[in-house]
Structure 1
């Protein structure tokens, strides 16, 4: 059992967020319920989690020197990546020195881009996925699209909240989709993934928690995405016992491979009784915002409890619940 100190005291327990957006803010709130000293880090000032953290820093998180410097300066007990665009080679190095990366540096490294996690799932673990190719130029994209057939799905290998994703229906859309994906990618990788378009019945997120007593699953969350962005989610999503059991088996398989403690958002396509792996995030998921009202412990509370080494009791679901994203347009300084 971890010993928890008091913020700003010698025995303080520090949690550093690498990424301080809306989801990070909810993690910070839950961490502070346990008396943790929260340090919020992001690439821009006044990020949501910075507004409530005990301390914050603005750095370029893809800059390995800047990232390593701030981590060594603060010397946190827990380092919690909340975004993909991080110099993960620094986390791999620091983990070997004893720094506690949540859930592990390996999971952060593999899930920071779609190439790492898709290769792990499909090739190493043999998990069912859509057919896919990687492309480093419009010419390679053309070849991959012709092989997969139309429509097909174009995504940056690294992005968040669906940015840069596009479904194309003909060769005439190749150049536009390439430019759209590269422009909206996180980081500077000049590479995309081209995926087979699956006519699924529905898609779910299965929140999977690795904790001190094993693995716990939240009831499945259904969701709607528009242009790759989360817009609505609801819980529980109705599905057959067979499909749910298969989703849980796959979620355990891939989270076991990634290791560590914490909450993972595992996304699936469901077609009839077939379960097809889509993506995974080693952190709270935007579709899981519904758990703020649907469960006795939200995804953020579950994440922090798992990080601290607490066991997770049976999760109580209050009944059918839903959430909806309010999408703002334009820009503002307010």
Structure 2
């Protein structure tokens, strides 16, 4: 479908633009809302009932999206014009089939397939595009891992080639911990379609100063890059983010150059002129000032939730516009902050087993310049991100403090599962 043939604003008419969301978590929910505000019809799919996006979409489906037959059936039933993968555990072969049938996959089936596999992505970034990265190798067995770790040196980081949110990742500080790292990677890998054993990537543990997310938007108007987002992680998963990150003037052009080059390379590899949407490009800045490419997500990024309070158009609004063929220019990605202000987000991670209840919002949100998004996930089992606080301040430090205090003032109760 072309941008000229899209019909918006009549979601229950005979010819609306139909969108299938594959993944309906907190990010998918915000994208769904942004798309519906522009008049698209949205079906939200996920692996469980009551997923956040399913609560707001026009329709919802429950299926194992890594099951090719199940995914093929839901695409055939929904008959979408556009498919938007919002998670990585998807049968990508079916996405290629959908493209061949004339359905647009966001940003493309090829890009989704590359970005879900650290091995293919790193080879593209380092070997084909020449982007600076950490020293790395790959291994397909415990013995290969031992040999590669010896060459890389200790400490090093071991990750499954297919995983997300830090699952299966470990820092190895000595040779006697290699087997533990191998077992952790096999446990934390995304099991679908990978065979009996997951290959792993071994990376040098660099002298990191800070990490950045560069939200890079590809649209019918070209590629633009948002202001840098700083982030803090625990065990490979996001906990705080802030915008604009304090990037040294000498590095600002470099971080934008690497982000732009990474997205341009993916689009060129996909061979399509409609690879539109938001890309979350993750970068490392070392203490010596070196900027390194780490990874890229072909979708809005969890650290980008700060844009719900920092930018005039959030990453979700930008994604929706780009997907629908609406041009996104430099004028659309500006910060919605007075000069010298900063914005921050703080993830609310809940531990326990059962349904989660929030209260004391009157205290948590009493401070001006704070906001809250409760994701309304049905339950937590172990630990799970269940909400995010947002804040603006006179500078980044104040914004981060306010976002953290907002979260701390919430009263959170986990009602045990019966």
Q: Is the structural similarity TM-score above 0.5?
A: yes
Question: Does 1:321 pair with 2:339?
Answer: no
Question: Does 1:267 pair with 2:275?
Answer: no
Q: Deviations over 1:12-56 (max 9, x none)?
A: 211111111111011111011012111111112211111111111
Q: Deviations over 1:42-71 (max 9, x none)?
A: 112211111111111111111111111111
Question: Does 1:130 pair with 2:159?
Answer: no
Structure number with larger C-alpha Rg: 2
Give the distance between the partners of 2:244 and 2:318, measured in 1 at CA: 17
Question: Does 1:180 pair with 2:180?
Answer: no
Give the distance between the partners of 2:24 and 2:107, measured in 1 at CA: 17
Q: Tell me the secondary structure at the aligned position of residue 127 of structure 1.
A: coil
Question: Does 1:67 pair with 2:75?
Answer: no
8 Å CA contact 2:7–2:16 kept in 1: the answer is no
Q: Deviations over 1:194-242 (max 9, x none)?
A: 1111112111000000111111111000101111010111111111233
Structure 1 residue ranges (4+ consecutive) displaced by more than 3 angstroms after TM superposition: none
Give the distance between the partners of 1:328 and 1:250, measured in 2 at CA: 35
Which 5+ residue runs of structure 1 have no aligned equivalent?
Answer: none
Question: Does 1:302 pair with 2:334?
Answer: no
Q: Give the structure-1-normalised TM-score.
A: 0.97
1:156-167 residue pairs with structure 2 within 5 A?
156-167=160-171
- In the alignment of these two chains, the number of paired residues is 334
8 Å CA contact 2:226–2:334 kept in 1: the answer is no
Give the distance between the partners of 1:308 and 1:181, measured in 2 at CA: 38
1:121 corresponding residue in structure 2: 125
Question: Does 1:332 pair with 2:336?
Answer: no
Q: Tell me the secondary structure at the aligned position of residue 240 of structure 2.
A: strand
8 Å CA contact 1:62–1:187 kept in 2: the answer is no
Give the distance between the partners of 1:304 and 1:187, measured in 2 at CA: 30
Q: Which of 132, 137, 145 is 1:141 aligned to?
A: 145
Give the distance between the partners of 1:137 and 1:43, measured in 2 at CA: 31
Deviation at 1:101, TM superposition (A): 0.3
8 Å CA contact 1:7–1:13 kept in 2: the answer is yes
Q: Tell me the secondary structure at the aligned position of residue 350 of structure 2.
A: coil
Q: Which of 228, 231, 243 is 1:223 aligned to?
A: 231
Q: Tell me the secondary structure at the aligned position of residue 331 of structure 1.
A: strand
1:24-173 residue pairs with structure 2 within 5 A?
24-173=28-177
Larger deviation: 69-78 or 282-291? 69-78
1:13 corresponding residue in structure 2: 17
Q: Tell me the secondary structure at the aligned position of residue 167 of structure 2.
A: coil
Q: Deviations over 1:301-333 (max 9, x none)?
A: 000001111122412311311111111112214
Q: Give the structure-2-normalised TM-score.
A: 0.78
Give the distance between the partners of 1:183 and 1:122, measured in 2 at CA: 28
2:366 corresponding residue in structure 1: none
Q: Tell me the secondary structure at the aligned position of residue 328 of structure 1.
A: strand
Q: Tell me the secondary structure at the aligned position of residue 326 of structure 1.
A: strand
1:233 corresponding residue in structure 2: 241
Q: Tell me the secondary structure at the aligned position of residue 327 of structure 1.
A: strand
Give the distance between the partners of 1:16 and 1:82, measured in 2 at CA: 10
2:372 corresponding residue in structure 1: none
Higher relative contact order (CA 8 A, sep 6+): 1
2:252 corresponding residue in structure 1: 244
Give the distance between the partners of 1:103 and 1:298, measured in 2 at CA: 18
